[in-house]
Structure 1
Amino acid sequence: MSRDYGAELDAVKAGLSELQQLVRQWVQANPGKASPQTDVAETGMTVSAQLQERPGEAGGIFYSGQYRGEKWGYRWEPRERRVSELLGLDGDKVAKVLSALGHKQRLDILRSVLTEPLTGAELVERLNMGTTGQLYHHIKALLGANLLVQEERGGRYSLPGHRALPLLLLLSAASDLLDTSDYMELAEARSNAGAYLGAASEEYDPHLLLLAVVDNTILEHKAGSCTEANIFLHGDGSITVADDGRGIPVQALPGTDTPGVQAVLTRIVQRSDGASFFAPGGEKGISISVVNALSEKLTVGIRREGKSFRQDYKHGIPQTGLITIGTTKETGTSVTFLPDPDIFRASFSPARLSGLADEISAAYPGLAVRFYNEAE
């Protein structure tokens, strides 16, 4: 069946017009809460408002939308929820709702039936659940919460129409919070540093972090893309490893706006090839994301694709976006980090750093590693 794109566009325009009118009415009904420069007509759907500090007035959330699945579609009129109302929701009930949805297979079921109605057998096959018993355990909970309906006994399951928008809004909010899971892993690494460093807390060796960073340079060298690396010890106790490799990728990951370098520096995963750097006695490999987590601050600089990029971190958490700072014909990565003094009691030893640089150069004759003590 052919689609009527003109009708769909008209529906979208109508929805936007209604939402714009709602915003305009709110601005007119709440004088003084919007910036004098705000002009709904000029800014379209982007409204810049400066709320005055008045007790009990925290603002509002405006939303609308439409969805077209394979079997049906929805369009929702513009709505508003006051922030004070949202913050005053019953915490126990909200927790129960989120708990009911906080299961991967239940979310998979809801997302599947949102696209089209499906029978139990079709859900088992589509979601690779293996048995219908496993499916119906979750189906029962979703039916009880009125998040699913069944056409008839043994029939197909679908999502009630009035539940579609809340589910999509919940998924939209979750997409903006996905990076928090990475940050929780970073915090866990900080609280469990011994699993990576393989020693008692009073004996944590900061040179292990340096070796983990240099390990990435060595991998670039083995791939034929890196011939030299420079190690700089700075006066504030931080250290820089700069190489002439390809540079960590900066393109956003598919389906996200997260730069590749940010994923590398915040997602704590063990390499599938078994090439992670392991400290003597360590249970887990030290990746560059672990170095980031165990550092008070870290700055990464990347040279690739004719540009220079930079991003700053604190305790593993990004403090800036990926910033373009200039152009260059060179390629490579530089990582500057300061081991967190709350975790590491010892400092870098210039003598040991010089020895490590010589050892690495001797082990890899095609990789020139030089050490510079800028603290002197």
Structure 2
Amino acid sequence: MTPSRDFAAELDDMKTQLADLALQVRQLTGAADTGAIRAASARQDLPAAAYTPAETDKSSSSSGELYYSGHYNQDNARFRWEPKSRSVNQILSTDGEKAAKVVGALGHKQRLDIIRTILQEPMSGAELVERLNMGTTGQLYHHLKALLGADLLQQDDRGGRYSIPRHRTLPLLLLLAAASDLLDASDYMDMTEVRGNSSAYLGSTEGKHDPHALLGAVLENSLLEHNAGYCTEVNIYIHDDSRVTVADNGRGIPARAFPGADTDRSWLQTVMTDLHNRTATGASYTVPGGEKGISIAVVNALSLHLQVETRWDGSIIRQDYSHGIPRSALTPVGTTGETGTSVTFEPDPELFSSAFDRETVEKMIAERSAMYPQLTLRVHV
């Protein structure tokens, strides 16, 4: 039996392709501005060249337009939105006080959980309490009342299931999509907090901190790989410009998407920027007087520059950071049959007292060699 075709879905896909084609034509003819092209290419449907800034009409008062459309399936019903656009000028002129109220109303985790859950499936109050593990209905109905009053929820009838009004569904999905694209901002805020509270990680000091504590933290990740049975050799290179490199022959940090993540952010970037995910960041190194352990993400936050290179799955992939914030995408730089990770970093001179000292590093390595006799550790100057 031949399966039936979903003509509505095919029509949606065709409309999306036509909208994207129209954007490309407008770009080629000079009618499309950079903002519109960036908005469309954010979906990764357009080629990389679409990111290239184009000449704009300086006589135009418009700052650009955002284009959006989509479809959404729920309860055997299909919602479709025709392609729409809104000028950037209009978006930026939105009443700030009212916008803050909207964002504030949705800025509560439990309210977002309610919205995300009901977007997947309309539910009754009792079902929401059970699904979200709220414990009591009183806590739930406090948030439901606010969402109902804001016209972000509707109820079938008294005691019935809650659902999202049709005209609110697309804006909420777009808001969640934008939040998903900004998830890494929370990690970068954490990075800034680490820099402002460095003594909690490095111990209290009247002057600047000892940079060798960061070296110990990076080395700890290689030792963790050795303990897992994958790393047999670690090389430490002390450079003349206040940098140091730790290179091991472990498995290499995977460059694929981190499993279970809300975004397509790579495992590598998660390791380098997530201060709280102990599974992702692996080892943690503690110095005397430090209240918190130093993970490799902390090292990244406290480094003026950091470059990580992973040899994984036949490729050599590199990424650069400054103060914990990526300054480049994951960049393939070669192929290899080897595996391992190399981290080169320069501690921030505003926080650290001096360059790396050869004798101090060699003493550190001698201590580790005694603790791990099956691991080869070398220092290169």
| SS of equivalent residue, structure 2 residue 6 | helix
Alignment of 1:290-309 (within 5 A): 290-309=298-317
Deviation for aligned residue 1:121: 0.6
Contact 1:71 1:115 in 2 (8 A): no
Matched, 1:86 2:91: yes
8 Å CA contact retained: 1:201, 1:343: no
Q: CA deviation at 1:21?
A: 9.2
Residue type of the partner of 1:202?
G
Residues 19 and 64, structure 1, Cα contact 8 Å, conserved in 2: no
Contact 1:309–1:323 (CA<8 Å) still a contact in 2? yes
- Counterpart residue number, 2:8: 8
Tell me the equivalent position of 2:38: none
Question: Among residues 335, 342, 365, which one is paired with 1:334 in the alignment?
Answer: 342
Q: Does the aligned pair in 2 maintain the 1:34–1:50 contact within 8 Å?
A: no
Please name the residue that 2:257 is paired with: 252
342-351 or 47-56, which deviates more: 47-56
Task: State whether structure 2 residue 107 is matched by structure 1 residue 105.
Answer: no
Q: Counterpart of 2:232?
A: 227
Structure 1 counterpart of 2:159, from 154, 160, 168 = 154
Partner in structure 1 of residue 62 of structure 2: 57
Q: Return the offset for 1:336.
A: 0.5
Local SS of the residue matching 2:332: strand
Quote how far apart the aligned CAs of 1:270 are: 6.5
Q: Which residue of 2 aligns with 1:39?
A: none
Per-residue deviation, 1:117: 2.2
Other-structure match for 2:129: 124
Residues in 1 aligned to 2:135 and 2:367: alpha-carbon distance in whole angstroms:
53
* Contact kept? 2:283, 2:295, Cα under 8 Å: no
Query: How far apart, CA to CA, are the structure 1 residues paired with 2:21 and 2:366?
Result: 70
Q: Which residue of 2 aligns with 1:350?
A: 358
Change (3 A) 1:21 1:226: closer
- The aligned counterpart of 2:187 is 182
User: For 1:155 and 1:333, how far apart are their aligned partners in 2?
Assistant: 55
Q: Which amino acid aligns with 1:367?
A: L
Q: Secondary structure of the residue that 1:57 maps to in structure 2?
A: coil
Larger radius of gyration: 1
Percent sequence identity is 52
Q: 1:237 aligns with which of 236, 242, 249?
A: 242
**Structure 1: how far apart are the matches of 2:108 and 2:179?**
13
- The offset of 1:8, in angstroms, is 2.5
Q: Which has the larger displacement, 267-276 or 177-186?
A: 267-276
The one-letter code of the counterpart of 2:7 is A
Q: 1:208 aligns with which of 193, 213, 219?
A: 213
Q: What does residue 31 of structure 2 align with?
A: 33
Aligned to 1:135: 140
> Match for residue 360 of structure 1?
368
Q: Deviations over 1:38-95 (max 9, x none)?
A: xxxxx9x859565323463100011111111124221112211000000000001001
CA contact (8 A) 1:217 1:226 kept: yes
Q: Which amino acid aligns with 1:355?
A: K
- The 1-side partners of 2:345 and 2:125 are apart by 53
**Post-superposition offset of 1:27:** 4.8
* Offset at residue 177 of structure 1 (A): 0.7
Give 3-state SS (helix, strand or coil) of 1:202's partner: coil
Matched, 1:283 2:291: yes
d(CA) in 1 for partners of 2:271 and 2:299? Answer: 11
Could you tell me whether the CA contact under 8 Å between 2:23 and 2:32 is conserved in 1? no
The code of the aligned residue for 1:225 comes to Y
Per the alignment, in what secondary structure is the counterpart of residue 359 of structure 2?
helix
Q: What amino acid does structure 2 have at the position aligned with 1:92? A: E
What CA deviation, in whole Å up to 9, does each residue of 1:123-142 have, x standing for no partner?
11111111101100100110
TM-score (norm 2): 0.88
Letter matched to residue 361 of structure 2:
L
Quick check: 2:111–2:143 contact (8 Å CA) kept in 1? Answer: yes
2:159 partner SS: coil
CA pair 247-5 structure 1, distance change in 2 beyond 3 A: same
Query: Is residue 171 of structure 2 the alignment partner of residue 166 of structure 1?
Result: yes
Q: Aligned letter for 1:210?
A: L
Unaligned runs of 5+ in 1: 36-42
Tell me the CA shift for residue 151 of structure 1: 1.7
Q: Distance in 1 between matches of 2:152 and 2:3?
A: 29
Which moved further from structure 2: 166-175 or 201-210? 201-210
Q: Take 1:179 and 1:269, find their aligned partners in 2: how far apart are those partners?
A: 13
Q: 1:158 to 1:354 in 2, by over 3 A?
A: same
Q: Is the 8 A contact 1:250 1:259 kept in 2?
A: yes
- Aligned equivalents of 1:300, 1:265: Cα separation in 2: 9
Q: With structure 1 as the length reference, what TM-score do the two structures score?
A: 0.89
- Give the C-alpha shift of residue 157 in structure 1: 1.1
Deviations 1:233-271 (A, max 9, x none): 101010011111111122112353211111000000274
Residues 317 and 82 of structure 1: is their aligned pair in 2 closer, same or farther, counting only changes over 3 Å? same
**1:264-302 deviations in Å (ceiling 9; x for gaps):** 000002747996211101111000000000000001111
Larger displacement relative to structure 2 (15-24 or 144-153): 15-24
Q: Give the Å deviation of 1:4.
A: 5.0
Q: Note if contact 1:270-1:285 (Cα within 8 Å) is conserved in structure 2.
A: no
Q: Hey, what does 2:36 align to over in structure 1?
A: none
Aligned residues of 1:302 and 1:331 also touching (Cα < 8 A): yes
> Distance in 1 between the 2:214 and 2:188 partners?
19
SS in structure 1 of the partner of residue 128 of structure 2: helix
Specify the SS of the correspondent of 1:5: coil
Q: Would the alpha carbon gap of residues 303 and 146 (structure 1) be closer, same or farther in structure 2, given more than 3 Å must change?
A: same
